[in-house]
Amino acid sequence: MPRYITSRVLQAVLVLVGATLVIFVITFALPGDPVQALAGERAADPAFAEAIRARYHLDEPLLQQYGRFLLGVVQGDLGQTYSGQDVAQMLGERIWVSGQLAAFALAFQILIGVGAGILSALRRNGLADTGVRIFTLAGLSIPFFVTAYVLQLVVGVKLGWLPVAGTEDGFLSYIMPGFVLGSLSTAYVARLTRGQLTEALREDYVRMATSKGLTRVRVVAHHALRNSLIPVVTFLGLEVGALLSGAVITESIFNLPGMGQAMARAVYLGERTTVVGVVTVFVLVYVVVNLLVDLLYAVLDPRIRYA
Amino acid sequence: MPELVSATGVMEPPAIPQRKRRGHWQAVRRRLSRSPLFYLSATLLVVMVGMAAVPALFATADPHDCDLGRTLADAGAGQWLGRDLQGCDVFSRSVYGARASLGIGIAVSLVTGLLGGAVGAAAGYFGGWVDATLSRITEIFLAIPLLLGASVLLTLFGTSGSGTWTVIIALSVHGWPQVARITRSSVLEAKQQDYMLAAAAIGCSRLRALARHVVPNSLGPWLVVVTTNLGVFITYESIISMLGIGLRPPTISWGQMIHDAQARFLEAPLPLLGPAVFLSVTVLAFILLGDVVRDALDPRSHS
């Protein structure tokens, strides 16, 4: 086990370094001269331009800049934006909003997705199953930003049940965006759970559990479900990437001051440091979550033991 | 020394009755032709491809013939989905939008399918350091969220020309790792089968074994992911265009129409819902097709 963890952590570090390098190289070529952008419409004063370039190390070769950036990341420093704001601090203020949004989205995915999947698998080809299948197909085909606009119109404006945008209403503000963001993968989770549980219910150990007189609830919850949830957990881990991407759009539509919104704005403005900073945080979250998922296997499936 | 007597007429090989041989792919085709969902998705796709090819046949008006005086007009005679802010016919514009959206979806699916398929197959088949290198590269690209990576790339292309090609490149650069992962695992599985041992035993070269045995046997999962991805990439194109960094006028695309309509959605929902319905129906058709193909390839999954 310790050996497995060590190699897995090393692999995660490699992915983190590689992914940030890719993004770093890409953003390095972002259009527009940041110095000129600061100076406005007139041509920048050469002395000023030089001072800025030296301050942000723009005059150094790319790899040296990247090394400096990595050194900063290790110390928790993501650099400064061109307007002098500290990126790590700015993201620190926003990460709470994005975290809450992600938590709501994940909760919806698990509650609705796994719930619908179980219902569907237990009542196969019944009314509930057909309903869930139609619902999941609709969920897969309707783009989530369209869901967002329709919900804003119906639930927010017409019915007035939930706030339309912003974060003034505390956790109520997160229900609708969380549902929208979660709807990205809820349908996949439901399908996956249904398929896995259906297969597990046919296994010998389930027949065994039933024949020794366990109740239906116990058979499903303790024997069948536990094994069928392993692929679901893996899927949710891999979906973290989609969740983070989706947050960029969801936060923009619902005007939530999170990291995704910062990212959308930074891409638009060509604000390199923020783009690299946000992607670094996102990749870090993705890598850590998937590391945890891999280690969780052993807990969920007693047959798996890491040597 | 007795002469060898050839036993003609005695050892006549037993006549094998000519029967219809059913290969794997014939069985797949047979299962496909029996599925009603296959016909449903095929019909939807034929209509959509028709729209992309000859939009004038389906549209009720010229999409560029706009009447500012009738901005945001509600649905009425002649305009099934009303008019947008510029006074253009929403239905006709949606019909004309099929070309860009379908084209990009198909192109990105093909590029990511070929690239991811090649990388995954090489990693799974050759193993060793090839696998280690390719798998690490795949993981690195997989860790960058697709939409983020694509939007960063698109901003890089900037105003200099965010056209169809740049959108295809941006989505492809970040879309292939998923295909590579799936192909790698199915190639790994095919490689360990007994028929590979048999092929090696009769002196089949490694390349021939790859082409004749591994590729046909691991094609199934690849086909499913490429088909399903078609719908996914069409959605991504619309998201990118919706963010305002994808396709630009005069190209008409559903994402861009949704982008233009979102500000006025509360007063006039039709200019947004119209293209959204076209988008959803197309994605639905591809998802159904992916499902049907999966069920046809693996009869166990459907029972």
Q: How many domains does chain A have?
A: 1
In a domain, A33, yes or no: no
**Portion of chain A with pLDDT greater than 70, in percent:** 88
Q: Hey, is B79 helix, strand or coil?
A: strand
Say which of B147, B272, B287 has its CB closest to residue A141: B287
Instruction: Enumerate residues 82 to 111 of chain A having a beta carbon within 8 A of any beta carbon in chain B.
Output: none
pLDDT tens-digit map of B162-189: 677 888 888 888 888 888 988 888 888 8
* Chain A residues within 8 A of B141 when measuring between CB atoms: 19, 22
The answer to whether position A143 is within a domain reads: yes
Over residues A244-263, mean pLDDT: 84
Asked whether the beta carbons of residue A149 and residue B272 sit closer than 8 angstroms, the reply is yes
CATH no. for residue A143? Answer: 1.10.3720.10
Q: Taking CB atoms and an 8 Å cutoff, what residues of chain A touch B272? A: 146, 149
Determine the Cα–Cα distance for residues B104 and B111; give it in Å rounded to an integer.
10
Model pTM? 0.80
Q: Is A307 a residue whose pLDDT tops 50?
A: no
Tell me the residue ranges of DSSP E strands in B125-276: none
The rounded distance, in Å, linking the Cα atoms of B186 and B179 is 11
The answer to whether the CB atoms of A15 and B153 lie below 8 A apart is no
Domain that holds residue A245: 94-261
Reported as a single tens digit per residue, the pLDDT across A218-248 is 888 888 888 788 888 888 887 887 788 888 8
Per-residue model confidence as pLDDT tens digits over A17-75: 888 888 888 777 665 566 666 666 666 677 777 777 776 666 677 777 788 788 877 77
Whether A175 is covered by a domain: the verdict is yes
pLDDT value, residue B303: 37
pLDDT of A49: 72
pLDDT at B21: 60
- Across the range A207-218, mean pLDDT stands at 85
3-state helix, strand, coil split of chain B in percent (to 5) is 70, 0, 25
Taking an 8 Å cut-off on Cβ atoms, the answer to whether B242 and A249 are in contact is yes
Task: From residue A271, give the alpha-carbon distance in Å to each of A37, A280, B42, B64, B70.
Answer: 10, 14, 45, 36, 40
- Does the residue A270 lie in any domain? no
Which residue does chain A place closest to B278, by CA atoms? A142
Closest by CA position to B296, among listed B45, B29, B41, B37: B29
Find chain B residues with C-beta within 8 A of A15's C-beta. 136, 139-140, 143
A46 occurs within a structural domain: no
ipTM of model:
0.77
Structure tokens at B129: 């350091």
Residue B94, pLDDT score: 82
Quick one: pLDDT band at residue B77, thresholds 50, 70, 90? Answer: low
Mean local confidence (pLDDT), B258-287: 83
**Mean pLDDT, residues A134-144:** 84
Name the β-bridge partners of B76: B79
